[in-house]
Structures are given as C-alpha cells and as structure tokens.
C-alpha cells in the first residue's frame, strides 16, 4: 500500500516541518517506503527519511511571468519530483480545463516527474448510471498518456471528498476494476479515507494506495492510518 497526504490549503511551513519530524518518529520502526505528503507551496521542503515531499500544483514552465504560480525552478530548489495533477478542487474551483491539465501533465512528464493524476465524478453523474459515469471519467484522460511509466492514477469521487461519506467497497471496485482492465498504473482511492475505513479499503484488490485529505492533517493520526493499512 502507498499512502499520500494532501494538505490542501492547510498547515504552514513551521507546522509542516514539525509534521515531518513527528511522522518520522511515529514510523521509525515501520518498514514502508511509500509515504508522500503534499504541503502548500510555501511549505515545500526536501524529502526526508520516511516521507517524500511532493507539490500540489505547478505551472507548465520552468519559470516566468505567471503570477501566483510556481514552476520547475521553485520545485528544483527542494528536489521535488512528485506532483498532483487534475485534483477535482482545481478542476471545479480553480476552473482548470482538461486541455490545461493535459498541458501540465505533458510538461511534468517530459521532466520525468512522478505524477499523481486525479479523476472523479460529481454525484449527479454517478446517479445517472454506469455509462454516464465512465463517459465522464474517461473524458478526464483526454490528452493524458496513461502508459507513462511514472503515472499513478487517483480515483476520487467528488461526492466523497471532505464529506465524511466514503465510497462503498462496491463503488470503489466498480471504477477501480474498470481502470485496472485498461491501464497498468497503480490506482489510489481518495475521498474521506479515515483510520476507521482503511482496513476495509486495503482489502480491495484493485486499490494500490490511498490519497488522504482531512485524516492526514494530524501526523499521529496519519501514522495510525498507515500502520493499520500495512497490516496484512
């Protein structure tokens, strides 16, 4: 299992440093090489013993006149080589189009980044049935090279993000099995993953890891989730 913590617009530079210190301590005796955190841009730092630090966002240029954005020059300072692309909050709130997202993807692919590529559907689409669901999800792969060797796909139904309502095993299997039948990439599930739900999620064969928001914000809680997720 792989574990990814998306801090979103939470935590500061100071609290992220403390978080990394705490998680390294909590997981000192745990054998797990696949723990990633995505702090806000102001809190980016070098990866540490147990934790790989990635970026929540990046523009498709090395540097330049792009107010509010960061690019390779800023990421290189911290040796960052992992990035989230296509998160639903950036699609829905920041208005990123599929075309724009594909440009980012291709740019970071050229730079050989590990890309966590997120897809997910809103509730009204899910309620329309399977055909509508897969049509919506597969449109989010337009312009994306799913055979890229460093892509990890994250399926995050929008109705499960930050709502406390995690998708059921059946909901997750429906999408993950379909994705597995088409792509060889690892596939993460995200959406209200908690310490209490990790045990059932990890049992799903087509789930290779989890992308966690709220339940990752406290280092001790996230460490607990990781430990539970690792028990065979």
Q: Looking at 26, 87, 89, 176, which residue is catalytic?
A: 87
What minimum distance in Å lies between the beta carbon of 162 and ligand PGA? 4
Structure tokens at 13: 């530079």
76: left (phi over 0), alpha (psi -120 to 50) or beta: alpha
Q: Is 11 a catalytic residue?
A: no
Cβ proximity to ligand PGA, 101 vs 212, nearer residue: 212
Q: Looking at 96, 121, 156, 176, which residue is catalytic?
A: 156
What minimum distance in Å lies between the beta carbon of 28 and ligand PGA? 25
Residue with tokens 């597969």: 138
Structure tokens at 91: 């699609």
What minimum distance in Å lies between the beta carbon of 167 and ligand PGA? 10
Where on the chain is the footprint of ligand PGA (CB under 6 A)?
6, 156, 161-162, 190-193, 211-215
What minimum distance in Å lies between the beta carbon of 73 and ligand PGA? 26
Cβ proximity to ligand PGA, 35 vs 212, nearer residue: 212
**Measured distance CA(212)–CA(175) in Å, rounded:** 18
**Measured distance CA(54)–CA(38) in Å, rounded:** 5
Sign of the dihedral through C-alpha 52, 117, 216, 61: positive
Cβ proximity to ligand PGA, 58 vs 191, nearer residue: 191
Cβ proximity to ligand PGA, 72 vs 88, nearer residue: 88
Q: 130-139 and 169-182 are packed helices; what angle lies between their axes, rounded to 10 degrees? A: 50
For residue 147, the Cα-to-chain-centroid distance in whole angstroms is 18
Q: Is 156 a catalytic residue?
A: yes
Which are the catalytic amino acids?
Answer: 87, 156
């Amino acid at each position: 299992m792989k574990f990814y913590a998306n801090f979103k617009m939470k935590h500061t530079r100071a609290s992220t440093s403390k978080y990394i210190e705490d998680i390294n301590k909590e997981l000192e005796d745990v054998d797990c090489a696949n723990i990633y955190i995505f702090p806000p841009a102001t809190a980016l730092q070098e990866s540490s013993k147990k934790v790989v630090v990635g970026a929540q966002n990046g523009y498709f240029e090395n540097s330049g006149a792009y107010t509010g954005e960061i690019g390779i020059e800023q990421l290189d300072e911290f040796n960052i080589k992992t990035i989230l692309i296509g998160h639903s909050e950036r699609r829905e709130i920041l208005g990123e189009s599929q075309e724009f997202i594909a440009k980012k993807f291709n740019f970071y692919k050229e730079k050989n980044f590990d890309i966590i590529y997120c897809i997910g559907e809103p509730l009204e689409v899910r309620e329309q049935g399977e055909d509508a669901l897969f049509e919506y999800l597969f449109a989010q792969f337009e312009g994306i090279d799913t055979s890229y060797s460093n892509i990890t796909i994250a399926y995050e139904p929008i109705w499960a993000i930050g709502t406390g309502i995690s998708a059921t095993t059946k909901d997750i299997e429906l999408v993950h099995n379909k994705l597995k039948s088409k792509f060889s990439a690892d596939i993460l599930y995200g959406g209200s993953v908690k310490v209490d739900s990790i045990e059932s999620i990890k049992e799903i064969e087509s789930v290779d890891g989890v992308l966690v928001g709220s339940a990752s914000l406290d280092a001790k809680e996230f460490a607990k989730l990781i430990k539970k997720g690792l028990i065979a």
